[in-house]
Amino acid sequence: MHVANPIYDVAFKYLLEDSKVAKLLLSAIIGEDILELDFSAQERTVEVKPLIKEKIPLTVCRIDFSAKIKTEAGFKTVIIELQKAKLQSDIMRFRRYLGLHYQNPSNSYDDQQEKARQIYCIYFLDYGIDLPPSPVLRVDYKVWDAYTGDEYPASGEFVSGLHHLSWIVQIHHLKERRRNDMEKILSIFDQSNVTDIKYILDVDEDLFADEYRQIIRRLRKAMEDPQKRREMELEDDVVKELQDKERQIEAKTKALEEKDQIIADKDQTIAENAQIIADKDQTIADSAKIIAELEKKIAEIEQKNKR
C-alpha cells in the first residue's frame, strides 16, 4: 500500500495530530499505557531561498504532549517531547528546546507545593550516529553509590525532576527488524520501502495488527491530499538546500583546518630552523672562544720565548 513517508515533517505532524494514532505509536515506544494525550505542536517558520524561484516556508516542527500514563499506583502525568532530525546540526536545536522545557513553569503540577513533571524525550534520527546499531535505544538515568558502586532505584521527584528519559529511534537501522509490536509499528519509517517518489512509501499492511492499521490509513490519507504532497515536495527542496550548505560549511571548515595545519607545520619548521641556526651560532661562538684562548696561549708562549 502506498502511504506518505512519515520522515517528512508534513506527514509526521499530520500523523501525530490524530490522538488515537499518537497514543498507539508513543505507547509502543515508551512501553507504557498512555490513557490521555494533550497535543501541542510548537512551530517556527522561516523563509529560505533555494535554487528554485519561489520562496519556501521552512517549518521546524516541535511536537509536545502532556500524557496521562497508567501506573500500578494509579496514573502519572508526564511531558513527552518528540523531535525528528535529518541534519546533524539539529542536535543543538534539541539542547535549546529541552532547556526551554525545564524552564517552562507550566510543565509542573500543584500537589500542595509546585512539583516538576517528568520529561520524556523521543528522537527520530535520519542519519548515522556513533551509537549501537539498534532500531530503538533507551537512555535511562541510574543512581549508585560513588564509593561502593551499589546501584539504587532511580526514584523520587529529585531525580525525575532534574533528569529525563530518552528514546532514540535510529531510522537507518529499522530495516528488516520486526521482533515485536514496537518495531512493526516503527517499520512505517523504514526508508528501504521508499518508491520512485521519495515522499511515498510502499508498506505491507499485513505486518500490522488490526488495532495498528489506523496508522497506515492516516498516512494513506496524507498521501492522497494534494496540498500535503506539494508541501512534501517543497520540503525536499529545502532539505537538499540545507544539506548542500552543510556540506559547503564542512568543506570550508576542512580547508581552514588544513590551512591552519600547513601554517602550524611552517611555524614548526621555522622554529626548528631557528633552533638549528641558534645552535650553529652557539657552535661558532664556542669555536671562536676556543680559538681566542689558543691564540692567547700562543701569544704567551711566544712572549716567553722572546725573553
Alpha carbon distance, N-terminus to C-terminus of the chain = 122
Q: Which three cell numbers stand for residue 8?
A: 517528512
* 258 inside domain: no
Whether residue 170 contacts residue 129, with contact meaning beta carbons closer than 8 Å, is answered with: yes
pLDDT (tens place) for every residue of the chain, 307 residues total: 999 999 888 899 899 999 999 999 999 999 999 999 988 655 444 444 444 444 444 445 678 888 999 988 888 888 898 888 766 555 666 666 566 655 566 655 555 445 677 889 898 888 777 788 889 999 988 888 898 989 988 777 777 777 778 999 999 898 867 888 888 889 999 999 999 999 999 998 887 888 889 999 999 999 999 999 888 888 777 766 666 666 777 778 888 888 888 888 898 999 999 999 998 988 988 888 888 888 888 887 777 777 6
* 81 inside domain: yes
> Cβ neighbours of residue 166 under 8 Å, at least 6 residues apart?
120, 121, 122, 123, 138, 139
Range of the domain at 53: 2-225
> Cβ neighbours of residue 17 under 8 Å, at least 6 residues apart?
39, 41
* 306 inside domain: no
Long-range contacts of 188-193 (CB under 8 A, 24+ apart): 188/3, 188/6, 188/215, 188/216, 188/219, 189/6, 189/7, 189/124, 191/5, 191/7, 191/126
* 255 inside domain: no
* 303 inside domain: no
Domain count, the chain: 1
Q: Which three cell numbers stand for residue 210?
A: 488490526
Q: What is the CA radius of gyration of the chain?
A: 33
* 297 inside domain: no
* 294 inside domain: no
3-state secondary structure the chain: CEEECCCCHHHHHHHHCCHHHHHHHHHHHHCCCEEEEEEEEEEEEEEECCCCCCCEEEEEEEEEEEEEEEECCEEEEEEEEEEEECCCCHHHHHHHHHHHHHHCCCCEEECCCEEECEEEEEEEECCCCCCCCCCEEEECCCEECCCCCCEECCCCHHHHHHCCEEEEEEHHHCCCCCCCHHHHHHHHHCHHHECCCCCEEECCHHHCCHHHHHHHHHHHHHHHCHHHHHHHHHHHHHHHHHHHHHHHHHHHHHHHHHHHHHHHHHHHHHHHHHHHHHHHHHHHHHHHHHHHHHHHHHHHHHHHHHC
* 32 inside domain: yes
